[in-house]
């Protein structure tokens, strides 16, 4: 049983004219309004407590409850209704005298004092309420997942004759599809909902190196960007100093790989910024390995 932390004290109303709250035989919180009520969306009409999609919370017996829960559906009068998937066969008794041309079958679950209880399936001629559009932040998270980062090309200098105690210059071959910034295509997931673009901007490159016997299996170091491309008159912005030769390593070389850490921003297509707190950073693996052989310094007598 799944709960949402809802607690209700079931107390009969003190007013003779108001609805009387009573526990049902199945412990569902029910309302008796001095007469019969009908299931929301049924042919007989709509009862109180509606679940409308225009607000994020509804009120039930003096408490705020979600108007929509993704795996339970829309709220009305103490219960949630969501379309059954798949729909029952036309011959099943849950349809009663109805057909699929008249409506659909919905899974019903109702609020308990300690969570929810399934209440089986019911026929409704129309939904209690449409699923509300996803918030822009959730759409932005989905848009983020669509961004494709290219495969990096890793470089080192010297590439074949590095020596112990001398820094090795490292960089990622410049490529906008690799080091960004990169943006998603505009994404709209609901009719009338927000259209969103997510953007990632490189924050740092996290290098991992197999440092070989006598140390932890892998060591990490961070460079603030993809690194400056090697030039004879330049200076590295990313480098690694090896303290042992790679003679005992597989293929007699150290192996290096990268992970890209990104800053995430998002906007709607009308240029409204979206608060991405909590998912404002993003990481992607480089899926590339660089081999760097490192030799001992040869001392000539």
Band of the pLDDT at 122, cuts 50, 70, 90? very high
Give the whole-angstrom CA distance, residue 299 versus residue 301: 7
C-alpha distances (whole Å) from 45 to each of 11, 128, 148 are: 27, 11, 50
C-alpha distances (whole Å) from 223 to each of 17, 32, 90, 154, 204 are: 72, 67, 63, 13, 6
- Per the confidence metrics, is the pTM higher than 0.85? no
Least confident of 53-67, 213-227, 278-292: 53-67
What is the domain partition of the chain in residue ranges?
Answer: 20-124, 136-295
134-188, pLDDT tens digit by residue? 889 999 999 999 999 999 999 999 988 888 889 999 999 999 999 999 999 999 9
pLDDT at 131: 82
Least confident of 44-58, 87-101, 133-147, 179-193: 44-58
Cβ atoms of 223 and 205 within 8 Å: the answer is yes
Q: What are phi and psi of 176, to 5 degrees?
A: -60, -30
Report whether pLDDT(5) > 50: no
pLDDT at 280: 85
pLDDT at 248: 82
Rg for the chain, CA atoms, rounded: 31
Higher pLDDT, 91 or 4: 91
The vertex-9 CA angle with 8 and 11, nearest 5°, equals 135
pLDDT at 299: 58
Cβ atoms of 196 and 187 within 8 Å: the answer is yes
205-262, pLDDT tens digit by residue? 999 998 665 555 678 999 999 999 999 889 999 999 988 888 888 888 889 999 999 9
């Amino acid at each position: 049983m799944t709960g949402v932390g809802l607690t209700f004290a079931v107390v009969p109303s003190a007013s003779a004219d108001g609805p009387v709250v009573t526990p049902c035989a199945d412990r569902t919180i029910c309302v008796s309004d001095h007469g019969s009520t009908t299931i929301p969306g049924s042919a007989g009409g709509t009862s109180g407590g509606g679940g409308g999609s225009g607000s994020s919370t509804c009120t039930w017996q003096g408490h705020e409850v979600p108007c929509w829960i993704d795996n339970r559906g829309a709220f009305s009068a103490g219960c949630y209704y969501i379309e059954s998937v798949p729909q029952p066969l036309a011959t099943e008794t849950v349809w009663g005298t109805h057909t699929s041309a008249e409506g659909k079958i919905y899974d019903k679950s109702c609020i308990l004092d300690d969570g929810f209880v399934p209440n089986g399936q019911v026929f409704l001629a129309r939904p209690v309420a449409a699923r509300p559009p996803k918030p822009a932040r959730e759409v932005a998270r989905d848009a983020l997942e669509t961004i494709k980062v290219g495969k990096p090309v890793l470089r080192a200098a010297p590439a074949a004759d590095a020596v112990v105690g001398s820094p090795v210059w490292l960089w990622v071959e410049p490529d906008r599809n690799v080091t960004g910034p990169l943006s998603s295509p505009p994404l709209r997931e609901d009719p009338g909902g927000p259209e969103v673009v997510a953007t990632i901007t490189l924050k740092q490159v996290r290098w991992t190196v197999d440092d070989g016997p006598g140390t932890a299996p892998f060591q990490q170091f961070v460079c603030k960007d993809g690194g400056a491309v090697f030039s004879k008159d330049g200076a590295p912005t990313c480098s690694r100093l090896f303290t042992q030769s790679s003679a005992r390593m597989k293929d007699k070389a150290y192996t290096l790989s990268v992970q890209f850490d990104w800053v995430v921003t998002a906007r709607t297509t009308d240029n409204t910024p979206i608060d991405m707190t909590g998912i404002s950073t993003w990481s992607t693996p480089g899926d590339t390995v660089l081999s760097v052989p490192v030799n001992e310094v040869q001392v000539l007598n």
